[in-house]
Amino acid sequence: MRFVVFLDALDYNDLSPWLKEKLIAKYNPGVPKVTPNVVSQIMTGNRPEDMNFVRSTPYKKPRETDIKGDTILHYAANKGLRVFQYGIPLCANVELPKGSVSTFDHFLGQQNVPPVLQFAKDNMNMMDDDPELVFHAYVDQTSVLFSTIRSIARNKQFDIMFIGFQPIDAYTHWYHQKNRRRLIQVVEEELKDLSRYGPVFFFSDHGGTEKKETFFINKWLAEKGYLVYDINYKLNKFHMPEDVKFPDQITLQHQHVWIDWSKTKFFCNDAFDAMVDKTDNATNEDVQKVRKELMETGHFNSVKLKEEIFDKNGKKYSECPEIMPDAKEGVMVSCNLHEKAGTKEGKSMDMIRNGWHSDRGVVGCSDTTLQTTVKGPRDIYHLMKEFIDKELEVGEFDKKLEQKSIFVVREALKKFKNPAILYSTGKDSTAMLQLVKDACLDGKLPPVVHLDTGYKFKEMYDFRDKVVEKMGFKLIIAKNEEAKATPSGEKFKCCNERKTEALKKLLKKEKFDALFVGIRRDEHGIRNIERYMSPRNNKGEWEVAKEKAGGDSGLEALQDTELAGWSLYSTDFGDDCNHVRVHPLLHWTELDVWKYLKEKKAPINPLYFSREGKRYRSLGCVPCTKPIRSRAKTIEEIVRELKETQEKERSGRSQDKENASNMERLRALGYM
């Protein structure tokens, strides 16, 4: 489980201790400093023009605010991860991958979505009227959000959760630095708690700072004669809702604002940013002139033309605003045209929003292994990919396991004259084939024995023939033609006749003195007491039940030399021994097997991978083997599934032979 958390307007100057400790990089989001533009780059790793996205409202064209193409959510979903999202990507819209991303709405129901903060009254100045009331409302909202996220995380129904958190940005605009930092401390504690469930990656799109003054850009354009407009307040009664919170917030988007397009050369149609469009009336000389005059106002770090920011070959380059000023830190740009805007009497939006974005973005992670350099918004996308890929990692196979197993194999090959390999086509026996092949330095491979019960999956037979031929082994098929028992009857008897007796007959015929078997101690309780070199008597039985003292056989006592811890393996068990079972994988786990197969790029039976929502975790005969519910179609997905499941590996096998007493009886009779 991993978490990607977008903390809107988190400034590195305001980081509390834990966030500062987990900080990976500070970065400059660049120009223009508006959330959708920056977020779109973070979400896709592309420049806005490359994905047909710009934040502006171009001249006589509709606003374009949708991200086009795949995002980091698509990347995670396409990797097979179970994805959950809330509030991503905030004010940059994105079409989520269909059927592969869950949200609050359809996962919990609309009533469980964290509530939107509501002001006590219209035009409430939240900081001056009752700052503590507002602060605790935000704290309540934050607590509801993260407690819900933790509840979902505990259920382990998702692999990665994308979370968008916006209230910090509110304290950027409604400037109140003390409460802003208090809220950040609350968020820090929530993220620390969330990190108990998995690594947390967090980032911001910009920072925030105190306003020094407001620059009303459309009023300025009107004063300079570049914009000619009129406001018909009578329309206000018909086109603005009665409960509007900011009735004296008027921009060019409002229907009661009339523009004389025959005389207008420039205008800004964004409510809070200074991107300036030119009309057909403006010449290139006019563009250079207004650019120079905007810079002379002292409110901007730079005033750039679109070709200085965006690639001319961009698909929507022509729709970008012509002029893009970069406001100085602390200066808010407003397009409000109301007559009271900027006065003490006006309680307009720009009067309440008295904080501005800064170029102080942050990136951090509780997983300190991330190393990617972050210089701009697009780098965050690639860092998130690295973070997501870590959830997909299988992990490295422990070479010490392989070294010990090869030692066991070579000890057996050296001591026994006529060994063979039992092969079921399952993951363990396939890993053992690869192991024996690697251990045989002289290239003289033991033959492979397959016990054919007549009830195996077709895929197992096909896979068996393909693998044995590809790896260069000789195949021997053992089948008890005299077997009468069937899986529809007593499964214990069926297993004994079709597997154990078939093997005994083959041993008598081929005179094998050792059999390599791919069992593991963690598979079943009875296998936990096995040894690497496990003798079978002249009846083919495993003498597990004989007592050391007073028994008439020394087979069990001789096995105990392995327990000394000196890699001493008895191979000579006297005349009572018919053959020895060699278990090279005894110390491996199910996860070890999958890691080994991935590292060796070994063939894998297709039954292990999900088809129509189900796959097999353990393979046997068709009537005795049931699939499990699973979406795992790759080794990476299987490993991730195994790390979370509580089900036993052989839970899909017939329980009347899997219980401890029956398994012990079968094993004593010579079953694997």
Whether the model pTM is above 0.75: no
245 — pLDDT class (breaks 50, 70, 90): low
- 251 against 310, higher pLDDT: 251
**CA nearest to 174, candidates 138, 216, 219, 217:** 138
Query: Which runs of E-coded beta strand occur in 264-320?
Result: 266-267, 277-278, 300-305
Q: Return the minimum-mean-pLDDT range out of 74-88, 288-302, 466-480.
A: 74-88
Residue 519: φ, ψ to 5°: -85, 160
pLDDT of 194 strictly over 90: yes
Mean pLDDT of the chain: 80
Q: Is the peptide bond before 32 cis (omega within 30 degrees of 0)?
A: yes
C-alpha span between 348 and 340 (Å, rounded): 8
Residue 128: φ, ψ to 5°: -85, -35
pLDDT on residue 71? 86
pLDDT on residue 445? 95
pLDDT in tens, 482-513: 888 888 777 788 888 899 899 999 999 999 99
Contact 27, 44 (CB under 8 A): no
Q: C-alpha distances in angstroms, 571 versus 403, 404, 411, 543?
A: 19, 16, 9, 16
pLDDT (mean) for 207-213: 76
C-alpha span between 203 and 577 (Å, rounded): 67
pLDDT on residue 105? 53
pLDDT in tens, 313-335: 665 666 678 898 888 877 888 88
Contacts of 562 (CB under 8 A, 6+ apart): 531, 532, 533, 568, 569, 570
> And the tokens for 418?
């006529």
Cα–chain-centroid distance for residue 101?
11
> And the tokens for 577?
């021994």
Q: Return the minimum-mean-pLDDT range out of 47-56, 107-116, 159-168, 555-564.
A: 107-116
pLDDT (mean) for 131-155: 86
pLDDT in tens, 360-410: 899 999 987 777 788 888 999 999 999 998 877 777 888 999 999 999 999
pLDDT of 36 strictly over 70: no
Q: Return the minimum-mean-pLDDT range out of 124-133, 186-195, 400-409, 464-473.
A: 124-133
Contact 633, 610 (CB under 8 A): yes
545 — pLDDT class (breaks 50, 70, 90): very low
pLDDT on residue 550? 42
pLDDT on residue 65? 55
459 — pLDDT class (breaks 50, 70, 90): very high
Other C-beta atoms lying within 10 Å of the C-beta of residue 619: 23
pLDDT on residue 117? 47
What share of the chain has pLDDT > 70, as a percent?
76
pLDDT of 549 strictly over 60: no
pLDDT (mean) for 270-274: 70
What share of the chain has pLDDT > 90, as a percent?
36
pLDDT of 439 strictly over 60: yes
pLDDT of 185 strictly over 90: yes
pLDDT in tens, 216-241: 999 999 999 999 998 876 544 444 44
pLDDT on residue 238? 44
